[in-house]
A and B are shown apart, each in its own frame.
Chain A
């Protein structure tokens, strides 16, 4: 069964969590600014944003740890304003795991069950089940201090899952782990969520993590929603320049649209969008085809092998420097002249260029983010090292189902 079909169905029914107009301020800082977010029954919602955008605060508000200044949180239509954290039956996996250092693995995983007043044999059974689920069978009596980062992460997950919460929230659960471990755990998590049919909110600043884990995602910026959609929608159609840059797309250019064609100072090419007038365009690196006689001409400045493809930096004649993915045919060498044709369907036309933000604000964490993700601006060592999966455009949630 394709997951996307089910997604359509969820949208129509079983709205479980509603975050309505929630604002949180810390002194002069606005952490959440009239935020509206919903989660459906059985849905995994990813909350993606740079650090400091308020995504952890959102989880704390939902968990009841942070009272909102305005707005309210509803569960199944009922407001939770007066329900203290310990009565909400939500699970929260903390960024630092927050494992009780004075308790064993069993003591940690069984904590929530004890709070439910469960009998000891029942607790033992459920703890064993939860540990089995996260692949830590036999760890029951271990002390927390002697666990590795990955093991701690699993204990924290088991602890959050054991009481079978109505909603599971995860705050950057893989943040502190190394890359290989992170990718493996990500797949395991996704498998677990699907298997248990869990309703979850997954907070991360890493778009690959978000794409891989969720049914639907919210991109957050400075306490507000920047975009909501399926991973594919967000990937293919970033709502604005900020989202595009946050996702790592740096090819953002000005153009004049008329009659299905985009005209820039350096090239003219076809676009599917029927808009007219001045617009900003996002040219994802994967929309270009190397094609003799292509409308965009330039010279290869740098070339980096990325596993499934090469990433080229191409200096356009009288124009900007663009990033281009080359994954078919012979790869042009540095210094070689190339001609490129953008796929008309792939070109993203942003809102009116006059109203859109041209650059991320100085100091905006997104700027740093963009540099770090797979969109390098220099041909320094980082350029060659940054890895990236090949056909990310094709990737969808169903790909990672076990």
Chain B
């Protein structure tokens, strides 16, 4: 218990306290001026308002766009269903920078649509739908697949039309999943950073973007701190409402195994629905990524690997190091973060699984907090906290530490349920056969948890690879990660820089997608808690 607690206290609680301290003491003494300033400045008020409304609209749009897909994947069986479902999950885990870049080229003047939607709110909203589509599909579709179809049959026999059935039977039964999906999407869009930084330009800024600007452009740390505190309050409120809602869970219902509820489409109308939905999904998710990849190969002299070769030099870019170094950095950091998250996550999972009662529950909550905290807040906390007396600012070690902090909850969530499900008698059997406690853990818990720990590790790797919000604060100019380098290149003029950014995006996307698809193979169904 000691190590994970120490880790969380030093790298999570302490930075948050430093943010609070900084925001409250802009001079040498206690002063609420930074908070007053947030409400006085029109740009900040606008940012707060924009953060809220774009999150609401994004959530509503995502739900609307995702419901048909959720239905089709839940109720119909068609060739390649499980593979498609895995592939659809990929955009959700893609780095925000990749998504932002993809829509930048898709909706740009040279894009296939021929309209320039850059720097408009539409670009942001569509990107958010793209990003969170899988959340609706998996959360709502997951429950939908288990709903008893006989309830709908019963309503039909009682004379209800198709729309009535949906409104009066299906929708109320789906409410817990809808609420869960909406909360998650809202949380993600509320704390959206990379996408808005790239697509929003100077016109649209969320609180996250403002925190970043106040820190990097204006060096107004107390104001950034105050924004962070307000942001934290908002996020906590969402999480609180969500958990309250989850407790007062909707109606008890008997769930059916998913394979019993799905069937082949029969009527032409059903075929139209299935293939129409799949087509829409393919267009929505596939086009931006396709354009991204296409751009990385398209040079003024036709298709080629020019941009990939150009990754090896600094010519024409404002980076201090060749972009290929960023690729190497990212891989090294991701491996380090993964190892760190695995070790700390397994320790924490052991504590959560072995201990019972209130201590374990509180520890569990503490472990989950970094997940609900925005990346930008973590980044700001790191630069405030590891200045003095613990000076780590010049050390690249901060990057994997920040990534591990975000990744630990994933490892815990995958490993703890498995450990908890290990029958106590197995451990006792090992003890009676002569295994000391540490040996019991190594011989019984560790092998049984390996598979799910690998899943957690895969997530940790993918998260670290694409992490941008926190890294943007702590990465040194000479040790950029892939997302940081991409963002910097996007800000540079010239088709060479854009092409290089797209090449790096492609590398990042392919690596992340591979990691995630690998996880899907390892994943044991119904075992994991997320």
Question: In the complex, which residues of chain B have a beta carbon less than 8 angstroms from the beta carbon of A89?
Answer: 434
CA distance A133 to B428 in the complex (A): 24
Q: A400 at interface (Cβ–Cβ under 8 A)?
A: no
What is the CA–CA distance of A26 and B111 in the complex, to the nearest angstrom?
Answer: 70
Nearest-neighbor residue (CB-CB) of A101 within chain B: B448
> What would 9 A/B residue contacts be, using CB atoms closer than 8 Å?
A63-B432, A65-B431, A85-B431, A87-B434, A88-B432, A98-B428, A111-B435, A112-B433, A163-B434
* CB < 8 Å neighbour of B434 from A96, A98, A101, A116: A116
A interface secondary structure, majority: loop
Residue B429, interface by CB 8 Å = yes
B167 within 8 A of A: no
0/1 interface trace, chain A 63-94, chain B, CB 8 Å (1 if under): 11100000000000000000011111111101
- From B237-245, B336-344, B403-411, B439-447, give the one contacting chain A: B439-447
Q: Are A65 and B434 in contact (CB under 8 A)?
A: no
* CB of B77 to closest CB in A, whole Å: 28
| A100 interface hit (Cβ, 8 Å) | yes
Residue of B nearest to A112 (CB): B433
CA distance A96 to B435 in the complex (A): 19
A94 touches B433 (CB 8 A): no
Cα–Cα, bound, A4→B434 (Å): 35
Say whether B426 faces chain A, with CB atoms less than 8 Å apart: yes
Q: Which of A91-107 contact B (CB under 8 A)?
A: 91-92, 94-96, 98-103
Residues of chain B contacted by A116 (CB below 8 angstroms) = 434
Contacts of A262-317 to chain B: CB distance below 8 A: none
Q: Is the CB of A111 within 8 A of B432?
A: no
Contact in complex: B425, A98 (CB < 8 Å)? yes
Q: Is B203 an interface residue (CB 8 A)?
A: no
Say yes or no for A159: interface residue by CB 8 A criterion. yes
In the complex the two chains form, is A100's CB within 8 Å of B428's CB?
no
Query: A-B pairs with the 3 shortest C-beta distances?
Result: A115-B434, A112-B433, A98-B425
Which residues, 427 to 469 on B, are CB-close (under 8 Å) to A?
428-436, 439, 443-444, 447-448
* CB of B266 within 8 Å of the partner chain: no
Complex CA distance for A159 and B432, rounded to whole angstroms: 11
Most central of A95, A103, A111, A163 by chain B CB within 10 Å: A111
B388 in the interface (beta carbon within 8 A): no
Q: How far is the CB of A91 from chain B (nearest CB, A)?
A: 7
Is B423 on the interface with A (CB-CB < 8 A)? yes
In Å, the complex CA distance between A88 and B436 comes to 11
Enumerate chain B residues within 8 angstroms of A86, measured Cβ to Cβ. Answer: 431-436, 439
B444 neighbours in A (Cβ, 8 Å): 100
- Chain B's interface size range is 10 to 19
At the interface, is chain B mostly helix, strand, loop or mixed? helix
Tell me which residues across on chain A come within 8 A of B443, comparing CB atoms: 100, 111
| Alpha-carbon separation in the docked complex, A98 to B430 (Å) | 9
**Are A115 and B425 interface neighbours, CB within 8 A?**
no
Instruction: State whether B425 touches A163 (Cβ < 8 A).
Output: no
Contact in complex: A94, B428 (CB < 8 Å)? yes
Task: State A94–B428 Cα separation when bound (angstroms).
Answer: 9
Docked complex Cα distance between A64 and B431 (Å): 9
**Residue contact A102 to B448, C-beta cutoff 8 Å:** yes
- Write the nearest CB–CB distance from A173 to chain B, whole angstroms: 13
Asked, given contacts A100-B444, A101-B448, whether A92 binds B434 with beta carbons under 8 Å apart, the answer is: no
Contact residues in A for B426 (Cβ distance below 8 Å): 98, 100
A-B contact count (CB 8 A): 65
Alpha-carbon distance A102/B423, docked complex (angstroms): 13
**Known contacts A60-B428, A98-B429, A99-B429; can you find 10 more A-B pairs with CB under 8 A?**
A64-B432, A65-B431, A65-B432, A84-B431, A87-B434, A90-B432, A95-B425, A102-B448, A115-B435, A116-B434
Report the Cα distance A65→B431, complex, angstroms. 8
Contact B431 A111 (CB under 8 A): no
| Residue of B whose beta carbon sits closest to that of A92 | B432
B423: chain A residues at CB < 8 Å are 96, 98
Find chain B residues with CB under 8 A from A85 CB.
428, 431-432
Q: Is the CB of B428 within 8 A of A115?
A: no
Distance between Cα atoms of A78 and B439 in the complex (Å):
27
Q: Which single residue of chain A is at the shortest CB-CB distance from B448?
A: A102
Chain A, residues 331-344, CB within 8 Å of chain B (1/0): the string is: 00000000000000
Q: Which residues of A sit under 8 angstroms from B429, Cβ to Cβ?
A: 92, 94, 98-100, 159
Within the complex, what minimum Cβ distance (angstroms) separates B2 from chain A? Answer: 22
Q: Which of A65, A103, A159 has the most CB of B within 10 A?
A: A65
In the complex with contacts A96-B425, A100-B426, A91-B447 CB distance below 8 A: no
Give the chain B neighbours of A88 by CB distance below 8 A.
432
Closest to B436 in A: A86
Chain B hits for A112, CB < 8 A? 433-434
Q: A60 to chain B: which residues have CB within 8 Å?
A: 428
CA separation between A115 and B430, bound complex, in Å?
Answer: 9
Instruction: Give the most central of B425, B433, B435: most A CB within 10 Å.
Output: B433
Do A111 and B425 touch across chains, with their CB atoms under 8 A apart?
no
Whether the Cβ atoms of A111 and B428 lie closer than 8 Å is: no
Q: Which of A64, A95, A102, A115 contacts B433 (CB 8 A)?
A: A115
Report the minimal beta-carbon distance from A164 to chain B, rounded to whole angstroms: 12
Cβ-closest chain A residue relative to B431:
A85
A192 smallest CB distance to B (angstroms): 19
A168–B231 CA distance with the chains assembled, in angstroms: 62
Q: What chain A residues lie within 8 Å of B447 (beta carbons)?
A: 102-103
- Nearest CB of chain A from residue B453's CB, rounded to whole Å: 13
Shortest Cβ gap from A60 to chain B (Å): 8
* B428 with A65: CB separation less than 8 A: yes
Instruction: Report yes or no: B425 in contact with A94, Cβ–Cβ below 8 A.
Output: yes
Q: Which residues of B lie under 8 Å from residue A100 when comparing CB positions?
A: 426, 429-430, 443-444
Q: How far is the CB of B437 from chain A (nearest CB, A)?
A: 8
**A86 to B434, alpha carbons, bound, how many Å?**
4
Note all chain B residues with C-beta closer than 8 A to A102: 447-448
* Docked complex Cα distance between A88 and B432 (Å): 8
Residues of B within 8 A of A94 (CB): 425, 428-429
Chain A residue numbers with a CB within 8 Å of B439 are 86, 115
Given the complex, which residues of B lie within 8 Å of A111, measured CB to CB? 430, 433, 435, 443
Q: Mark A156-198, 1 if CB is under 8 A from B, else 0.
A: 0001000100000000000000000000000000000000000
Closest beta carbon of chain B to A245's beta carbon, Å: 32
| Distance A7 CA – B447 CA, assembled complex (angstroms) | 46
Say whether A91 contacts B434, CB under 8 Å: no
Cα A90 to Cα B423 with chains together (Å): 20
